Amino acid sequence: MQEKPNAPQLPRLGITQGDINGIAYEIILKAFADSRMFSELTPILYGQSKVLSYYKKNFGIDDFNYSLTRDARQAWNQKFNVLNIVEHELKIDPGTITPLSAEMSVLSLKMAAEDLKNGYLDALVMAPPCLAVQRTDTGFLASTFGNPEMLRVLVSDRMVIGLATDDVPLYDALSSLNNDLVVRKLEVLSKALKCDFGINAPKIAVMGLNPHAGEAGETDKATQAVADAQKKGVYAFGPFSASRLFVNGAWKKYDAVLALTYDQGVLPFKVMSLDGGACYWAGLPGVCTAPLHGPGFDIANKNQASPDAFRKAVYLATDIINKRKDK
């Protein structure tokens, strides 16, 4: 049955399949089992219909219907679409990291990212792959879009935290931190808050590295960067120690926080965002989001995974698409 000729085209969201042996298919199925999702977007899973059918049967989700498409541009409105990245059957080993599952994670990401780059998709939402693949996501996205200055941003209903350095060993993060880097990340975050969140004059709190950063005149590695960013029109404040910023809720006075290292930002975010959170990559011309959790091999195929963070990533991508259209 064909769609009505005048049916409006909803935003097309490409969804990577993540690791087929983890919880990726479970959270995708649970999120899109709610048919109300289709009134706002058109999902396209870059995966394998036989894997989807396997988990659909396993979790007893009988009323979940989908359509096959060979091209994202021909995806069906108001339906769940599957674009098979391979035609042959894949071996599923729930709870186990295998070379095949990692290979399929990478292939799914490559195909979806290429379609996003070519304008066939409006956004990309990544289901969680294994950790080895997950750690390469940022670098891969950067190279796909010509290596723009970008920033991983954590988003929940309560807070927004940007990460000046990514998921790397602490020694490497500290070695890469310098005044110019922090200023560039502040500029990316400020622009994203304006374009993707609709905040006209965003205020950003900057975390320091020293235990008493910003107190009693104590200087910090971020002190000069805050001053230089202000000269460029960024409303940056600080630096603040973690205790000064988070213990008494001072962070609520700001639209976002810039953490200098990964753990420095992820820890308070997870503590204060128990309802689930997502991340997105600011600075990219395309919209890319993901849930803020891993592949969950320990609970794979046990019907225990919550789709909340994945659903948050889907709606975050949709919101950003709409904000950018309004500009």
- Judge if 41 and 114 occupy the same domain: yes
pLDDT band (50, 70, 90) for residue 215:
low
Instruction: Say what the pLDDT of residue 217 is.
Output: 61
Instruction: Say what the pLDDT of residue 212 is.
Output: 66
Provide the CATH number for the domain around residue 266.
Answer: 3.40.718.10
Beta strands in the chain (DSSP E): 12-16, 42-47, 67-68, 81-84, 123-126, 151-155, 160-163, 203-207, 235-240, 256-259, 278-282, 287-291
Residue 79 backbone dihedrals phi, psi, to 5 degrees = -140, 160
Structural domains in the chain (count):
2
pLDDT band (50, 70, 90) for residue 7:
low
User: Cβ neighbours of residue 293 under 8 Å, at least 6 residues apart?
Assistant: 128, 309
Q: Are 209 and 226 in contact (CB under 8 A)?
A: no
pLDDT exceeds 70 at position 54? yes
Among 277, 302, 317, where does a domain finish? Answer: 277
Computed over every residue of the chain, the mean pLDDT equals: 90
- Judge if 86 and 196 occupy the same domain: no
- Judge if 155 and 141 occupy the same domain: no
Instruction: Say what the pLDDT of residue 315 is.
Output: 94
Residue 87 backbone dihedrals phi, psi, to 5 degrees = -95, -25
- Judge if 86 and 43 occupy the same domain: yes
Going across the sheet that includes 235-240, the strands are 67-68, 81-84, 42-47, 12-16, 123-126, 287-291, 278-282, 151-155, 160-163, 256-259, 203-207, 235-240
pLDDT exceeds 60 at position 119? yes
- Judge if 170 and 214 occupy the same domain: yes
pLDDT exceeds 50 at position 1? no
- Judge if 5 and 138 occupy the same domain: yes
- Judge if 10 and 123 occupy the same domain: yes
Among 277, 303, 318, where does a domain finish? Answer: 277
pLDDT band (50, 70, 90) for residue 126:
very high
- Judge if 2 and 112 occupy the same domain: yes
pLDDT band (50, 70, 90) for residue 6:
very low
Centroid of chain to Cα 325:
20
Centroid of chain to Cα 181:
22
Pair of tokens at residue 223? 């002190």
pLDDT exceeds 80 at position 275? no
Instruction: Say what the pLDDT of residue 47 is.
Output: 96
SS3 state of residue 204: strand
Among 241, 262, 277, where does a domain finish? Answer: 277
Scored b (16 or more CB within 10 A) or e, 95-134 reads eebbeebbebbebbbebbbebbbeebbbbbbbbbbbeebb
Q: Are 51 and 20 in contact (CB under 8 A)?
A: yes
% of the chain at pLDDT higher than 70: 94
- Judge if 125 and 81 occupy the same domain: yes
- Judge if 60 and 135 occupy the same domain: yes
Beta bridge partners of 278: 155, 291
Q: Select the more confidently predicted residue: 219 or 223.
A: 223
Structural domain for 230, as ranges: 150-277
pLDDT exceeds 50 at position 161? yes
In Å, what is the CA distance from 108 to each residue of 112, 156, 208, 281?
6, 26, 38, 18
The residue-averaged pLDDT of 197-223 equals: 82
pLDDT exceeds 70 at position 105? yes
- Judge if 181 and 251 occupy the same domain: yes
pTM score over 0.85: yes
- Judge if 94 and 183 occupy the same domain: no
Among 165-179, 193-207, 239-253, 305-319, which is the least confidently predicted range?
Answer: 165-179
